[in-house]
């Protein structure tokens, strides 16, 4: 036998279900709103980090040319990187001829260890910084000597003995005992770490990477002087308008 449903109970059930739906919708709205807030916050945080704009401390880096030149070119490099060797031997001379020697640009070097940060890349960077801090005029000579005598990318070659002997052979005017000590004791490790952090903050994925007046050039520019020259000219034109 069928029983007659109580209208009061039915209304109560409907009301309860409606309240549950409202609570569920409020929860969904709250979660959605919270997600939007978090997303916006993340975008605000990530956006500056993903920017290709570099804010460099030029006074702390080795410089080739006049520091007051209107164009500042920064190369992020790794002494064990074959492409960086190519940049130093093939691209840099063209930059020097067209822009550095004419007073239009200055070239800066920043370490970014990506190949063997615990071995050769690090030891070579420590040696180069020791030379830089001992005698800034000798830095570029030593810088070029390391690349000229660069070993194979897959083998360990930039040992302290090799780096000190290279300085002697090239007649780099520094204290060789101090050079050895600076490598062994990792005197300028904090400086290297700071440069690495700058590169990571800018989300740099390879070396060499080139910046011109704080703006990242395309990856192809570091290997193709025609592309890089066009970018430099663009920045030079911007400076001339100021």
Residue 87, pLDDT score: 98
Distance CA 197, CA 32 (A): 35
Q: Summarize pLDDT for 41-51 with one digit per residue, the tens.
A: 444 443 433 44
Helix spans in the chain (H)? 7-50, 82-86, 92-95, 120-134, 139-148, 160-169, 176-184, 189-201, 225-241
pLDDT (mean) for 133-151: 98
Distance CA 33, CA 234 (A): 44
Distance CA 189, CA 182 (A): 9
Closest CA to 217 of 200, 201, 234: 234
pLDDT of 58 higher than 80: yes
CB 74 within 8 A of CB 110: yes
Distance CA 131, CA 141 (A): 10
Closest CA to 132 of 106, 105, 109: 109
Distance CA 10, CA 20 (A): 15
pLDDT of 123 higher than 80: yes
**For residues 132 and 41, which has the higher predicted lDDT (pLDDT)?**
132
- Cis status of the peptide bond prior to 230, with omega within 30 of 0: no
Model confidence band, residue 103 (pLDDT cutoffs 50, 70, 90): very high
Q: Summarize pLDDT for 197-223 with one digit per residue, the tens.
A: 999 999 999 999 999 999 999 999 999
Question: The pTM is what?
Answer: 0.78
Closest CA to 158 of 207, 196, 122: 122
């Amino acid at each position: 036998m069928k029983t007659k449903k109580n209208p009061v109970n039915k209304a109560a059930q409907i009301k309860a279900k409606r309240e549950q739906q409202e609570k569920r919708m409020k929860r969904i709205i709250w979660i959605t709103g919270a997600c939007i807030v978090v997303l916006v916050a993340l975008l605000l945080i990530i956006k500056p980090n993903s920017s290709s704009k570099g804010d460099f401390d030029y006074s702390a880096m080795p410089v080739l040319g006049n520091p007051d030149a209107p164009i500042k070119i920064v190369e992020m490099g790794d002494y064990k990187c074959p492409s960086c060797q190519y940049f130093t031997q093939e691209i840099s001379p063209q930059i020097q001829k067209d822009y550095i020697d004419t007073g239009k640009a200055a070239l800066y070097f920043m370490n970014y260890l990506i190949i063997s940060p615990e071995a050769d890349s690090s030891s070579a960077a420590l040696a180069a910084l020791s030379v830089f801090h001992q005698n800034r005029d000798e830095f570029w000579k030593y810088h070029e000597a390391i690349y000229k005598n660069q070993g194979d990318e897959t083998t360990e070659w930039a040992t302290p003995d090799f780096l000190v002997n290279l300085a002697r052979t090239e007649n780099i005017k520094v204290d060789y005992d101090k050079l050895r000590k600076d490598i062994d004791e990792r005197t300028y490790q904090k400086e290297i770490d700071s440069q690495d952090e700058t590169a990571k903050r800018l989300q740099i994925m390879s070396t060499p990477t080139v910046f011109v007046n704080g703006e990242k050039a395309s990856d192809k520019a570091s290997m193709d002087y025609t592309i890089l020259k066009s970018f430099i000219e663009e920045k030079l034109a911007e400076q001339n308008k100021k």
